């Protein structure tokens, strides 16, 4: 494990070469200026050799206190607020196969990991260097969560959530792994009452979530590409849907990642259309940005997203395109 620090003048020159876009950002004029903010393209996450070609399946997490972004792809890479890799961990056998992570206000890291057999999951509690200090299992899940196999972990409002996006199940747990509350989103959406062509009822897994996030008030947001919709579910189980299929602005092709910023704007990435769409807190379409291109500001199969308190948006992509960084300028 190596820690890289910006100390020398030589490094500064390299940093300027790698991240010239910081000083001369691309503005999506006429395309993303709306509702009092403008979208800027900044740069790609990189190390000393240049941008890192993370590809499809890369997951992102954010430290809300420091603004550092965590990229989960095999191991875990940490990047500072200038987009430079500063640390990497996760290759040790003790942490298993890391699927996601969350960072608390003190910089401690909680990983959602699977044992090497791929069957058993656990939560690893690590220090800021990614060194495993203890791990716990989850207890107290209800009987109808017997198929629960989470792929995501989130920490919002001081509460820890595990999310099974395939079976549409969410569990809130405490620091000891005890289940406090659960949501069966498949049933909340009423999909358990929908019939197939042969008259049988839909089963969990027939409709799954791709992107999933939770805001500070505990509202859950997720995308379901097979229904060409995105959804919001409140903590008390009230559901709302937005979006529709199509190939024009604001329309859904194959929706994937979803993120919510501090202003209440909702960001939805579309793998097929290669754009990021923005909706307001009323779930109304505002604007979209991005285009299918390998050039600056272009997107190739945009996938997972996270956004910081300052409006910095990180978008992972396929095609070895790595992670692009945008800035939302709230006028």
In the chain, the percentage of residues whose pLDDT exceeds 70 is 89
Q: Is the pLDDT of residue 321 over 50?
A: yes
Domain 9-330 CATH superfamily: TolB, C-terminal domain (2.120.10.30)
Query: Among 18-32, 249-263, 303-317, which is the least confidently predicted range?
Result: 18-32
Distance (Å, rounded) from C-alpha 43 to C-alpha 315? 11
How many Å is the Cα radius of gyration of the chain?
20
Band of pLDDT at residue 225, cut at 50, 70 and 90: very high
Question: Residue 56: what pLDDT?
Answer: 86
CA nearest to 80, candidates 72, 89, 71: 71
- Percent of the chain at pLDDT exceeding 90: 80
What ranges make up the beta strands (E) of 104-184?
109-114, 121-126, 132-136, 152-156, 159-164, 169-173, 179-184
pLDDT class for 54, splitting at 50, 70, 90? Answer: very high
Query: pLDDT tens digit string along 167-193?
Result: 999 999 999 999 999 999 999 999 999
What angle (nearest 5°) sits at the alpha carbon of residue 72, between those of residues 228 and 326?
65
Query: What pLDDT score does 90 carry?
Result: 93
Residue 164: name the closest of 115, 114, 103 by CA.
114
- DSSP for residue 119: S
What does the block give as tokens for 193? 């009452």
Mean pLDDT of the chain: 89
**Between 24 and 317, whose confidence is greater?**
317
Q: What is the dihedral of CA 125, 126, 127, 132, to 10 degrees?
A: 120
Q: How far apart are CA 250 and CA 277, in angstroms?
A: 6
Sheet of 220-224, strands arranged across: 212-214, 220-224, 229-233, 239-242
Is the confidence at residue 229, as pLDDT, over 60? yes
pLDDT number for residue 97: 94
Q: What is the pLDDT of residues 94-139, one digit of tens each?
A: 899 999 999 999 999 999 999 977 789 999 999 999 999 999 999 9
| pLDDT for 10 beyond 70 | no
Long-range contacts of 5-11 (CB under 8 A, 24+ apart): 5/86, 6/82, 6/84
Band of residue 291 on the pLDDT scale cut at 50, 70, 90? very high
Among 17-21, 194-198, 216-220, whose mean pLDDT is lowest?
17-21
d(CA 221, CA 179): 21
Task: Tell me the C-alpha to C-alpha distance, in Å, between residue 246 and each of 215, 256, 266.
Answer: 27, 15, 19
Are residues 178 and 171 in contact, defined by beta-carbon separation less than 8 angstroms? no
Q: DSSP characters for 227-255?
A: GTEEEEE-TT--EEEE--BSSSTT-BSSE
> Is 310:320 a contact under the CB 8 Å cutoff?
no
Query: If DSSP codes are grouped into helix, strand and coil, which group holds residue 299?
Result: strand
Give tens-digit pLDDT for 69-83. 999 998 999 999 999
Quick count: other Cβ atoms within 10 Å of Cβ 310? Answer: 12
Of 247, 252, 203, nearest in space to 227 by CA: 252
Phi, psi (deg, nearest 5) at residue 15: -60, -40
Q: What is the pLDDT of residue 34?
A: 52
Torsion sign across C-alpha atoms 112, 252, 196, 192: positive
Q: Residues with Cβ < 8 Å from 264, sequence gap 6 or more?
A: 215, 280, 281
pTM: 0.89
- List the one residue out of 217, 213, 189, 192 whose CA is nearest residue 268: 213
| Cα–Cα dist 283/276, whole Å | 15
Res 35: pLDDT: 58
Q: pLDDT value at position 119?
A: 82
């Amino acid at each position: 494990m190596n820690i890289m620090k910006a100390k020398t003048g030589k490094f500064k020159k390299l940093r300027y070469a790698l991240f010239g876009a910081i000083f001369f950002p691309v503005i999506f004029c006429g395309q993303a200026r709306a509702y009092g903010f403008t979208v800027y393209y900044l740069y790609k996450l990189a190390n000393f050799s240049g941008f890192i070609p993370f590809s499809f399946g890369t997951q992102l997490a954010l430290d809300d206190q420091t603004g550092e972004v965590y990229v989960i792809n095999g191991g875990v890479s940490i990047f500072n607020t200038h987009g430079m890799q500063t640390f990497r961990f996760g290759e040790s056998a003790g942490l298993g196969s890391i699927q996601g992570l969350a960072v608390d206000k003190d910089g401690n890291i909680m990983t959602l990991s699977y044992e090497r057999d791929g069957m058993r999951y656990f939560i690893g509690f690590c220090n800021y260097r990614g060194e495993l200090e203890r791990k716990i299992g989850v207890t107290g899940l209800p009987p109808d969560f017997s198929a629960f196999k989470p792929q995501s972990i989130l920490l919002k409002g001081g509460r820890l959530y595990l999310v099974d996006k395939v079976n549409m199940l969410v569990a809130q747990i405490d620091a000891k792994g005890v289940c406090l509350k659960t949501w069966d989103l498949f049933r909340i959406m009423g999909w358990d009452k929908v019939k197939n062509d042969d008259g049988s009822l839909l089963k969990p897994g027939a409709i799954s979530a791709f992107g999933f996030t939770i805001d500070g008030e505990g509202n859950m947001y997720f995308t379901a590409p097979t229904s060409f919709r995105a959804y919001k579910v409140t903590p008390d189980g009230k559901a709302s849907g937005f979006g529709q299929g199509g190939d024009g602005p604001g329309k859904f092709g194959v929706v994937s990642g979803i993120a919510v910023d501090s202003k209440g704007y909702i960001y939805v990435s579309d793998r097929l259309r290669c754009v990021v769409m923005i909706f307001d807190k009323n779930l109304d379409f505002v604007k979209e940005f991005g285009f299918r291109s390998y050039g600056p500001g272009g997107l190739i199969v945009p996938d997972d997203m996270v956004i910081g308190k300052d409006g910095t948006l990180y978008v992972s992509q396929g095609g070895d395109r790595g992670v692009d960084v945008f800035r939302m300028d709230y006028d």
